[in-house]
Amino acid sequence: MPKPLRKVVSSELRATRSIGGGPFGSRTSRWWTLTLECGHSVERRAKYTPSGTYAGGIRERSMLDVLPAPKSARCEVCKSKGMS
């Protein structure tokens, strides 16, 4: 049985910067914290537009390239509690 699909009622874009490591230095990771209609929260990776600002992992993606937050998401908590 799949996790129940829930409507997103609010979203917040977050970012974390890693320190060093790898051939390209520090990197920024972005993700959405989504509050669902059931009251639970989930996190999803931010997706980006297919623009030319990202060249093979060498340059950081701009905040302007982030696509809007998802309109719905599957709730892991509701599935574990048997809610549909």
What is the pLDDT at residue 51? 66
Higher pLDDT among residues 32 and 2, named by residue: 32
- What residues pair up with 44 in beta bridges, in sequence order? 32
Cα 56 from Cα 11, distance rounded (Å):
29
pLDDT number for residue 72: 96
Give the pLDDT confidence of 54-80 residue by residue, as tens digits.
Answer: 555 556 677 888 999 999 999 988 876
| 68, burial (CB in 10 Å: exposed 0-12, middle 13-18, buried 19+) | exposed
